[in-house]
C-alpha cells in the first residue's frame, strides 16, 4: 500500500531539491515524491515534500508566502549572484554602513519588479535559464512582479562564509518574508546596486512556508515513516465524514447530496472552489471534493492505496 502525506525536510547545503528527495523514495517505497518550491543547491532549509497522492496537493502549499534568512557581501557581484561564483563586477572601496543598508530597505518592501538570476530554473522557450547559461547561450529574462512583506537587518548569524570570489567591504545579515517566485539572489543584487556598489549573497536559508516552520523539519537522515504528516494537517480544508455507502458513490465518480452546512475556516491557503476532504468512518481521508450547497462532488483521490 502506498503512503500518502507530507514530510517536513530540512535540506542541507550542497544538494538540489530533487536530490534531497531521493532518500524519501526509499523510505516510503514510492517514486511518487514531490516538493513545494525549489531551493537552490547552495541554500538550506525547509522543503515540504509530498509523498504518494499528496503530491497532488503540493500546488496549494507552493503558492504560500515564504521566509528566508541570508547574508549580503557588498563590493562585488558574480555570475550566479552567490559569494563564490565567477567574478563579474568588482567595485572600488565603497563605505557602506549598517544605517545605509537600513535606509534602502523601504525601497525593496511592497510590490517590486525583479529580474530572476541567469542561473535559475526559470524557463526560456521551455529550457531552464541555468541550462542555457551552461551552454553559453545568450538570452534575456524579463522582470516580473513579486511582493516583499518584510525585509529587516538582523544580528550576525553564527555561520561562517568562506571562499569569496571578490573583495567585499561590508556584510550584513537579513530576514525576508516574501511571495512565491521571489529570488533572494536577485534581491541581494538589486540592494547592492541601489547602494552604489555590488553585492553577492551567501547563507540563504528558507525558514518558513506558509504557517510551517523549519523548526518542525528534520534532516533527511533522521526521517522515518513515523514522520509522515496527514494531508489535512497542512492543507486545512474541512474534513467531512461519510458513510460507507456515500464513500462508494464518491469512489465511483458521482456526487452525493449534502444538507449540512460546511464551515470554512480562515487560512492562508486560498480555497475559492470550496474544496473539502472526505473521510470514511475510520477517519481516513481519501478524497478531495468540491462542496456546493446541497451536494458534494468528487475531485481527486488523495488517500493511501495502490
Show Cβ contacts of residue 196 under 8 Å, excluding neighbours closer than 6 positions: 91, 94
The pLDDT, as a whole number, for residue 201 is 98
Span 72-87, pLDDT tens digits: 999 999 999 999 999 9
> How distant, in Å, are the alpha carbons of 44, 80, 119, 131, 199 from that of 122?
20, 14, 8, 10, 22
So which residues are the catalytic ones?
40
- Per-residue pLDDT, averaged over 275-294, amounts to 94
Q: Does residue 306 have a pLDDT over 60?
A: no
The pLDDT, as a whole number, for residue 265 is 86
Q: What percent of the chain has pLDDT over 90?
A: 81
Q: Does residue 2 have a pLDDT over 90?
A: no
The pLDDT, as a whole number, for residue 1 is 62
The pLDDT, as a whole number, for residue 227 is 97
Span 87-142, pLDDT tens digits: 999 998 778 999 999 999 999 999 999 999 998 888 888 898 888 888 988 888 99
- Per-residue pLDDT, averaged over 154-178, amounts to 94
Range 5-64+211-232 has CATH code 3.30.2350.10: yes
Q: Distance between CA atoms of 127 and 121, rounded to whole angstroms?
A: 9
- Per-residue pLDDT, averaged over 177-198, amounts to 96
- Per-residue pLDDT, averaged over 228-232, amounts to 95
Topology of domain 66-209 in CATH is Pseudouridine synthase (3.30.2350)
> How distant, in Å, are the alpha carbons of 111, 160, 233 from that of 140?
22, 34, 41
Q: Which stretches of 115-168 are assigned E, i.e. beta strand?
A: 123-124, 127-128, 144-154
∠ Cα 143 214 3 (to 5°): 100
Span 252-272, pLDDT tens digits: 999 999 999 898 988 889 898
Same fold, 66-209 and 236-301: no
Give residue limits of the domains in the chain: 5-64+211-232, 66-209, 236-301
Strands 5-11 and 33-35: unpaired
The pLDDT, as a whole number, for residue 94 is 78
Count other Cβ atoms within 10 Å, centred on residue 149: 13
Its CATH class, for the domain covering 236-301, is mainly beta
Show Cβ contacts of residue 177 under 8 Å, excluding neighbours closer than 6 positions: 65, 66, 67, 148, 149, 150, 151, 208
Amino acid at each position: 500500500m502506498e503512503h500518502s502525506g507530507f514530510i517536513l525536510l530540512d535540506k542541507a547545503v550542497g544538494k538540489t531539491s530533487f536530490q534531497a528527495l531521493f532518500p524519501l523514495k526509499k523510505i516510503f517505497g514510492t517514486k511518487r515524491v514531490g516538493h513545494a518550491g525549489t531551493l537552490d543547491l547552495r541554500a538550506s532549509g525547509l522543503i515540504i515534500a509530498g509523498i504518494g497522492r499528496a503530491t497532488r496537493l503540493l500546488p496549494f502549499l507552493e503558492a504560500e508566502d515564504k521566509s528566508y534568512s541570508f547574508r549580503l557581501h557588498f563590493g562585488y557581484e558574480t555570475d550566479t549572484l552567490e559569494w563564490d561564483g565567477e567574478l563579474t563586477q568588482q567595485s572600488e572601496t565603497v563605505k557602506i554602513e549598517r544605517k545605509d543598508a537600513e535606509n534602502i530597505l523601504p525601497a525593496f518592501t511592497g510590490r517590486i519588479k525583479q529580474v530572476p538570476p541567469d542561473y535559475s530554473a526559470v524557463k526560456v522557450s521551455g529550457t531552464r535559464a541555468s541550462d542555457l547559461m551552461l551552454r553559453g547561450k545568450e538570452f534575456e529574462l524579463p522582470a516580473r512582479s513579486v511582493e516583499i512583506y518584510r525585509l529587516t537587518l538582523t544580528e550576525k548569524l553564527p555561520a561562517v562564509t568562506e571562499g569569496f570570489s571578490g573583495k567585499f567591504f561590508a556584510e550584513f545579515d537579513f530576514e525576508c518574508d516574501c511571495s512565491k517566485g521571489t529570488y533572494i539572489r536577485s534581491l541581494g543584487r538589486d540592494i547592492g546596486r541601489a547602494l552604489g556598489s555590488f553585492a553577492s549573497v551567501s547563507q540563504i536559508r528558507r525558514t518558513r512556508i506558509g504557517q510551517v516552520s523549519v523548526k518542525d523539519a528534520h534532516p533527511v537522515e533522521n526521517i522515518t515513516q513515523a514522520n509522515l504528516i496527514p494531508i489535512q494537517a497542512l492543507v486545512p480544508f474541512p474534513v467531512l465524514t461519510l458513510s460507507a455507502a456515500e464513500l462508494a458513490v464518491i469512489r465511483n465518480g458521482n456526487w452525493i447530496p449534502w444538507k449540512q452546512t460546511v464551515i470554512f475556516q480562515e487560512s492562508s491557503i486560498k480555497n475559492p472552489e470550496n474544496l473539502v476532504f472526505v473521510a470514511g468512518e475510520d477517519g481516513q481521508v481519501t478524497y478531495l471534493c468540491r462542496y456546493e450547497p446541497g451536494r458534494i462532488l468528487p475531485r481527486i483521490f488523495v488517500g493511501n492505496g495502490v
